[in-house]
Amino acid sequence: MLKKAGYFILGLWIIFYAGLAAADIYTFIDSDGVLHFTNVPTSSDYKLYIRESVQKNEPRYDTQKFDDIIRDAQKKYGVEFSLIKAVIMVESGFNPKAVSRVGATGLMQIMPTNYESLSVKDPFNPMDNIMGGALYLQRLLRRYEYKLPLALAAYNAGPDAVDRYKQIPPYTETQNYVKKVMKTYSRYKNS
């Protein structure tokens, strides 16, 4: 009984503070009856408990703070400054501590499964993250013969999806993502 009361109080606390945290909360009860909460589900056992709410006063991040690192990444990997910056803007809004609902992290929202192949030791370190993201963009651009919309679609949905459809996959999220990055890229390039 005491255990259930504790879960009830914890649940109320989560509901009350969820708007302040602005992150989806997932839960599941394991075989021992223990209730688990997370904002980054690690298995399909987790079910959505509370949907993220967008705060009106979300912090705005300095869009020029990482320009020197972006320039270094451009020199090292040959990916345009404006493109790297556009991906950062769309992926994280320049929040170096961003974590997506699927676990992608940092400025360029790199998936944990890609850390090693992209030499990302600390995904929340702007230098590591931008260098890893720029390397990934370089690889995707080469893979898709510098067809930028396909490379961007692969950055969002994964290369397997682009290879399967041989075009931008018919996923609304990916199609919107490509449009947003292309528009942002054009704006940065022409400014």
Which CATH number fits the domain that encloses residue 103? 1.10.530.10
Full residue range of the structural domain in which residue 25 is found: 2-50
Q: Do 170 and 85 lie in a common domain?
A: yes
The model carries a pTM of: 0.70
- Residue 151: what pLDDT? 98
Angle formed by the axes of helices 67-77 and 126-143, to 10°?
A: 40
Identify the pLDDT of residue 36: 73
The whole-number pLDDT of residue 42 equals 76
pLDDT of residue 78: 98
Residue 29, H or E segment: strand 25-29
Residues 95 and 175 in one domain: yes
In this structure, the answer to whether residues 105 and 185 fall within a common structural domain is yes
Residue 9 lies in a domain: yes
Residue stretches of the chain with pLDDT short of 70: 1-23, 26, 52-59
Choose among 23, 21, 27: nearest CA to 43.
27
- Sheet containing 47-50: give its strands across: 35-38, 25-29, 47-50
Residue 48 confidence (pLDDT): 75
Report the chain's terminal Cα–Cα distance, integer Å: 63
Beta bridge partners of 105: 99, 110
**Is residue 182 packed enough to be buried (19+ CB in 10 Å), middle (13-18) or exposed (0-12)?**
middle
Same domain for 169 and 104: yes
* Tokens of residue 167, six digits: 């075009």
The CA distance from 58 to 22, in Å, is 9
Q: Is there a domain that residue 55 lies in?
A: no
Residues 6 or more apart whose Cβ sits within 8 Å of residue 90: 177, 180, 181, 184
175: left (phi over 0), alpha (psi -120 to 50) or beta: alpha
Does the active-site annotation cover 145? no
Q: Is 120 helix (H, G, I), strand (E, B) or coil?
A: coil
Q: Cα–Cα–Cα angle for 74, 77, 79, nearest 5°?
A: 55
Among residues 58, 80, 91, 116, the one annotated as catalytic is 91
- Same domain assignment for residues 78 and 109: yes
Integer-rounded Cα radius of gyration of the chain: 19
